[in-house]
Copies of this chain bind each other. A is one copy, B any other.
Amino acid sequence: MTLSREVAVIGIGQTKFGEIWHKSFREIGIEAGLRAIQDAGIESSKVDSIYIGNMSAGLFLDQEHVASMIAEEVGLTKDSVPATRVEAADASGGLAFRQAILDISSGMSDIVVVGGAEKMSDVTSQIATYFTAAGADQSWESLFGATIPSLYALMARKHMHDFGTTREQLGLVSVKNHRNGSLNPDAQFQKEITLEQVLKAGPVSTPLGVFDCAPISDGAAAIVLAELDLARELCTNPIKVSGTGQGSDSLSIANRTELTGLKATRAASKRAYEMAGINPSEISVAEVHDSCTIGEIMAIEDLGFFEKGDGGPATERGDTSLEGIISINTSGGLKARGHPLGATGIAQINEIVLQLRGMAGKRQVKDPLYGLAQNVGGTGGTVIVHILEAI
């Protein structure tokens, strides 16, 4: 399948991620949206439609229908600009980005603003953990007390059993991502940590501890997209969307035939690589979904960066560091940048855009040509993969 019209990113913006108690959902949504519009240097009256990725303002804030709310706050309801919310658990941001691409490609819009936002800290951590598990299967998993980390813990154990992945290798994912986060002024955690700290941290669901799991976060991120020819006119450094892929799998892990990888990642990335016409080896920098450390190890295998079973050793060898063969989660990843569910997929794209623009500051990778973002919903019921290209 090919797109009827091609698309590029012309502006990005986001809030700092963290516990943002002094701002509301709508305030962080506006902040990110206006920054992206400002970065694109366009009048907001040029915006043809908006998309919002949000997992559950319903559960967290008793508020559905958030796309119209954000459109109003940014001043876009004046012209009744179409505003659409999409949801696929914590893949909602990546999904919103994809829908915005399809909207432009369909011919309905020339310029689209796409945002992702989540406000998780208005409830207790325990309740936030329960709400997040609404991205797993309620009838078969969450109702019986399973949380997202406990389901990933099962996958981690099986990966360790089948491939000899070690507890230390899992921990080194977190050490690397905290190091990267220390170089990102928008990250929730900007402190380096040691492997010893990871191993000594309290357990969440064995073998995963506190430092293996992404935090509870508030935050919003936004992007302005334009049809490719228009993007070249409007902006000196457009970043082209070369590939988009989406895949699904059963919501509950009980219904899957494997536990050591995500079928939906392989399907989504195959589609994205085919559209972009490139191989995994051509990717210089990637943001992957490390909601738990095992998630990153499975991702770098399923995306074809390393052989199955080599994700742990590759991490230990430093192949995924800023100086490695392929730099993974230069932003700090979900673990250190923070993981406001619906915002994550958009923040991933923003990091790739910064890297491809050569504007990632202290965490800049040398001359990247292609970057990839992989966003997972729940434990893999949905996976979205995008490939971006410096042109």
A-side interface residues toward B, CB under 8 Å? 1-5, 24, 26, 48-49, 55-56, 58-59, 61-65, 67-69, 71-72, 76-77, 79-89, 95, 99, 101-103, 105-109, 130, 134-139, 142, 244, 246-251, 255, 263-264, 267-268, 377-378, 381-382
Contacts and interface: CB of A to CB of B under 8 A. Distances in A.
Given A55-B64, A87-B87, A106-B106, 17 more contacts: A4-B107, A24-B139, A56-B64, A58-B64, A62-B130, A62-B134, A64-B87, A68-B88, A68-B251, A69-B137, A72-B248, A72-B251, A80-B248, A84-B86, A84-B95, A86-B87, A99-B102
B72 A99 contact: no
Given A107-B2, A249-B77, A251-B72, A85 B86 contact: yes
How many protomers of this protein does the assembly include?
2
A63 B134 contact: yes
Given A83-B248, A87-B87, A65 B382 contact: yes
B67 A382 contact: yes
14 contacts: A1-B48, A58-B134, A62-B134, A62-B142, A64-B135, A65-B381, A68-B88, A68-B248, A72-B250, A81-B248, A83-B248, A85-B88, A99-B99, A102-B102
Nearest to A134: B64
Nearest to A382: B68
Contacts of A246: 49, 82, 84
A25 to B, nearest CB: 9
A104 to B, nearest CB: 8
B88 A87 contact: no
Residue picked from A55, A71, A136, most chain B C-beta under 10 Å: A71
Nearest to A341: B64
Residue picked from A76, A83, A142, most chain B C-beta under 10 Å: A83
B4 A105 contact: yes
Nearest to A65: B89
Residue picked from A61, A85, A142, most chain B C-beta under 10 Å: A85
A64 B67 CA distance: 17
Given A134-B62, A250-B72, A67 B88 contact: yes
Contacts of A48: 1
A59 B244 CA distance: 31
Contacts of A377: 65, 68
A130 B62 CA distance: 9
Contact of A138 (B62, B247, B249): B62
A219 to B, nearest CB: 18
